[in-house]
Amino acid sequence: MSDYRAVMDLPKLEYFLAVRDHGSINAAAAQLGVAQPTISQALRALEREFGIELFHRIGRGMVLTSAGHALAGPARRLMRDAATTVSSVSNHEGNLAGVIQIASAPSLAMGPVVELIAQFHKRLPRTQVHLEWLREDTAGSELLRSGDVEVVLTHLPVETFTRGRPGDRPLDVLPLGIQEYWYAVPPSQAHLLPPGDGPIDIADLPDLPLVVVPGGSLSGEIEAALTEVGRAVPPAAVLEHREARLAFVAAGVGGTFLERAMAESAAARGIVCRPVAPAMRRSFGFVYDASELSPVGAALIDLATEWVGSRADVALA
């Protein structure tokens, strides 16, 4: 395959990425508002320039070949860099402009991370942060390799994150803080908790059914901790959307474990939350490839590094 940097026809790359993202020329054309033949011709021209097929044609669908997968990440980074350049040049004040794509574990998009993003927007008001959910901790590595996102916000450590090539150095990691989990019960069940407002020994948790969110390593860690002290109970509700936990607990369905930032705000709904002992904590941070960051991505990492260094305490979420 020829060097992708030689292909500077950005519309062709935009069409390529749209077909990759939407799975067919028809869907890509509808999304971009262009004629289907325009995209078909652009893809054929791109394949001629590279001298290799980028898609398998399966019925009306399109699936990337191995060469197409190899092109996806660099193409997305080229498009991102081009957008940043155009936005910055058109800004008469000279401030950096552009978009950064971040994949975040849903439980981490709160508390100190929101404070960091607010500072980033205040410093660079012409930037945008696009945040998508990282449903599985292990999915972040592929999102970074494909160029779909520049930064992943996830729990640490991240031994499962690799660059995808044997012998590659590890991805870059910037620890941001520690997330702590508290136990929460419905107002009607608060009398089952030990007296006081201090931490509850995990062995003294009441025999309440749990409201849980499936998947992720945290769920397994909580289940293992409860099983070890003989407090494992069957779930009363299994929710795909962790945001729904508060409503279920407030309605009396059962207890749950909440991120500290969410637990502190749950009191407004009458939910009773207490820390547990031993404390349930997990560190979190940004994972990224410093060599592939756009100017906007690099600016976010620079600010995050300053932010971490300026804090006298550990950021708890």
Residue 90 lies in a domain: no
Residues 115 and 259 in one domain: no
Residue 92 lies in a domain: no
The pLDDT score that the predictor gives to residue 170 is 79
Residues 233 and 270 in one domain: yes
Element (H, E) at 177: strand 172-185
- Provide the 8-state DSSP code for 170: P
Residues 184 and 171 in one domain: no
Is 264 in a helix, a strand, or coil? helix
Closest CA to 309 of 129, 157, 175: 175
Q: Tokens 């508002």 — which residue?
A: 33
Residues 163-204: tens digit of each pLDDT? 555 556 678 999 999 999 999 999 999 999 999 889 999 999
| pTM of the predicted model as reported, rounded to 2 decimal places | 0.72
According to DSSP, the residues that pair with 177 across neighbouring strands are 284
Residue 303 lies in a domain: yes
Residues 254 and 297 in one domain: no
Residues 184 and 277 in one domain: yes
Mean pLDDT of 99-126: 90
Residues 241 and 231 in one domain: yes
Residue 87 lies in a domain: no
Looking only at the bridges linking them, the beta strands covering 272-288 and 172-185 are antiparallel
Residues 252 and 270 in one domain: yes
Residues 205-241: tens digit of each pLDDT? 998 999 998 866 677 788 888 888 888 888 999 998 8
Residue 84 lies in a domain: no
Residue 83 lies in a domain: no
Give the confidence band of 1 by pLDDT, cuts at 50, 70, 90.
Answer: very low
| Residue 165 token pair | 């090539």
CATH at residue 57: 1.10.10.10
Q: How many domains would you assign to the chain?
A: 3
Residues 63 and 208 in one domain: no
Residues 287-300: tens digit of each pLDDT? 999 988 888 899 99
Asked if residue 276 has pLDDT above 90, the reply is yes
Residue 196 lies in a domain: yes
Residues 64 and 202 in one domain: no
Q: Could you give the angle at which helices 112-123 and 295-310 cross, rounded to 10 degrees?
A: 120
Residues 163 and 186 in one domain: no
Residues 122-134: tens digit of each pLDDT? 999 988 898 988 8
Closest CA to 171 of 31, 288, 17: 288
Residues 148 and 199 in one domain: no
Residue 187 lies in a domain: yes
Give the confidence band of 6 by pLDDT, cuts at 50, 70, 90.
Answer: very low
CATH at residue 240: 3.40.190.10
Residues 268 and 189 in one domain: yes
Q: Distance (Å, rounded) from C-alpha 144 to C-alpha 146?
A: 5
Q: What range does the domain containing 199 cover?
A: 179-281
| Residue 195 token pair | 């007296």
